[in-house]
Chain A
Amino acid sequence: MTYIPHSPHERDTMLETIGVKSLEDLFKDVPKKHRFPTLRLPQALTEMEAAAELGELSLGNENVRTDLVCFLGAGAYNHYIPAAVDHILQRSEFYTAYTPYQPEISQGTLQSIFEYQSLIVALTGMEVSNASHYDGATAVAEAVGLANAQFHGKRKKVVISPAIHPQYRLTLRTYVQDMQMELVGDNPKVVNSERFSESGPESLIPLIDGETALVVVQYPDFFGRIYDYAQLIETAHKMGALVCVAANPIALGLLKTPGEMGADIVVGEGQPLGIPLSYGGPYLGFFATRKQFIHKMAGRLVGETVDTRGQRAYVLTLTAREQHIKRERATSNICTNEGLLALAAAVYLSLLGPTGLRQVADLCYSKAHYTAEKISSLPGYSLCSDAPYFHEFPVCCPKPVAEINAHLLEHGFLGGYDLGQDYPALKNHMLLAVTEMNTSEEIDALAEVLAEVAHA
């Protein structure tokens, strides 16, 4: 797109047209004292000085690529990102977070989004995917929006597993606060290590009734556990309710798809697909569903068609669902997508292919199981779950997690997630994640430090 600045003459013409003398006059309605407040800023630096200061500040950062060995997951994971991902992302043709409205000049971007959607559909076992949401948490919340729209607000109950990511549950509550929905099932206080297995899908079945719009579970769940949700989904369907599965996309390279289990909506955090760990994002929310719910799905959607000459072409499709047309009756009033990060996921998945993705998943699985075995043999440590798990598992520790993590950090390890923060009965429980990035030497070293902390 051409950048066309306006000249002082054009500015004067515009001001004259609307009958205003100067630019300042446009801000007259803002009280004077707020117009140009005195900011308490340090003295201005030269560019050279600023670069030096920022450079020094950045030395305080510790990252998982060069400084720390990472065993922290809990929703965001340290995976290898092939160099081609960044290379393609940084091409100026792609370098925008937005979906293009003008197909005439945006075929490349539209095609890449169409491919992203196709890959997500294949990965989740669903029929249609939108062009993404902000992150896993907001994608879960949008699933509730779909269910609410599908039942025209007539079913008011959402059953949520307590083993859904705590931050997803918080985001969900923020999103639905004006939908008059009742959220049940996710009391974190009921999750404790003695009766850990009772926080699985069976605990949700009695809560599903004729008022239930949606049941939300995670796969693998927040504790890394793998369940076959087929029976839960069957029960929900018998009651007329929909089921949303929030899935880890890397795990889907290895496991049965939620689509095969009968899920109606599959969402998740797309960060593991070629997006670096970063505090606060930007991340990627993927969202897939069945064709019958396509008109209630939020978000952008790219479709394949033919142009006037019969050539294959891509366009935004079914846009009348969206808020710019359907206004307050749209399923969601957030239509921002994460175009650039969706592209990263598409490039990542294309580079790896089904075999490569399965290899990554296999490595995560085996290394996590090696780690769990190693740690459970240490005096004072035990695994509190006997359910099958993927690349993450909770460990019952002999000391407070914060204390153990401080010790680990001194040895160059980023330790696990302190589950006591969200689940009061899981005090001294640490959630450890292992990916293909963790070598067996690192895992052995982690176990040594953990053994040392237990005795200290």
Chain B
Amino acid sequence: MNIPANLKYTKTDEWFDPATHKSGLTDFAQSQLSDIVFVEIIVAAGEMVQAGKQMASVESVKAAAETYAPVSAKVAVVNDGLADNPELLNSDPYGKGWMVQVEGGDVSGLMDATAYTKFCEERAH
């Protein structure tokens, strides 16, 4: 499982990059969902998002899930290209599969890679 050390994580399996302020779905989440066939980002540039509030819906061949904003901040850009290529969430969750980029954001409530690795391992059993 890929859990990059430079990112921060939520208990609802989103990642947040403190350097670029991008966020998305973790490798653990995409592997649990299996083949993702639909993604809909429901926040738009300029809107304020609140940590823990829904920012997108994801459907795979066998499951449906919501993803939540990792931090409270103003949305700068959303990855519009994802709608046509939802499989990027599977193939490149930390790269081309990013979902929302915000302006800033307080990461103090988020887990680091070590804590998130442990959190995933606990749930695997």
Contact = CB atoms under 8 A, between A and B. Distances in A.
Interface of A: 152, 295, 318-321, 325-326, 329
B37 interface: yes
Contacts of B61: 319-320
A321 B42 contact: no
Nearest to B59: A320
A325 B64 contact: yes
A320 B62 contact: yes
A325 B40 contact: no
Contacts of B63: 320, 325
Contacts of A325: 62-64
Interface in B24-74: 37-38, 40, 42, 57, 59-64, 66
A320 B37 contact: yes
A152 B38 contact: no
The 8 closest A-B pairs by CB, nearest first: A320-B59, A326-B64, A320-B64, A295-B38, A325-B64, A152-B42, A320-B63, A320-B60
Contacts of B59: 295, 318, 320-321, 326
B111 to A, nearest CB: 26
Interface in B1-44: 37-38, 40, 42
A292 to B, nearest CB: 9
Contacts of B64: 320-321, 325-326, 329
Contacts of A321: 59, 64
A318 B42 contact: no
A321 B59 CA distance: 7
25 contacts: A152-B42, A295-B38, A295-B40, A295-B59, A318-B37, A318-B38, A318-B59, A319-B61, A320-B37, A320-B38, A320-B59, A320-B60, A320-B61, A320-B62, A320-B63, A320-B64, A321-B64, A325-B62, A325-B63, A325-B64, A326-B59, A326-B64, A329-B57, A329-B64, A329-B66
Instruction: Name which of B42, B61, B64, B66 has the most chain A CB atoms within 10 A of its CB.
Output: B64
Contacts, number: 26
B47 to A, nearest CB: 12
A303 to B, nearest CB: 11
Contacts of B57: 329
A318 B59 CA distance: 8
Interface of B: 37-38, 40, 42, 57, 59-64, 66
Contacts of B62: 320, 325
Main SS at interface, chain B? strand
A322 B9 CA distance: 29
A295 B60 CA distance: 11
B50 to A, nearest CB: 16
A103 to B, nearest CB: 13
Contacts of A320: 37-38, 59-64
Nearest to A292: B83
Contacts of B66: 329
A111 to B, nearest CB: 21
Nearest to A326: B64
Nearest to A322: B64
Nearest to A321: B59
Given A320-B37, A329-B64, A329-B66, 6 more contacts: A295-B40, A318-B59, A320-B62, A321-B64, A325-B62, A326-B64
Contacts of A319: 61
A319 B59 CA distance: 9
A295 B42 CA distance: 14
Nearest to A294: B38
Nearest to B33: A320
Contacts of B60: 320
A151 to B, nearest CB: 10
Contacts of A326: 59, 64
A326 B57 CA distance: 10
A215 to B, nearest CB: 23
Contacts of A295: 38, 40, 59
Contacts of A318: 37-38, 59
A318 B66 CA distance: 16
A300 B30 CA distance: 25
A289 to B, nearest CB: 15
A320 B57 CA distance: 11
- Which of A318, A319, A320, A329 is the most central at the interface, judged by chain B CB atoms within 10 Å of its CB? A320
A295 B38 CA distance: 8
Nearest to A150: B40
B30 to A, nearest CB: 14
Contacts of A329: 57, 64, 66
A295 B36 CA distance: 13
A47 to B, nearest CB: 49
A318 B57 CA distance: 14
Nearest to B37: A318
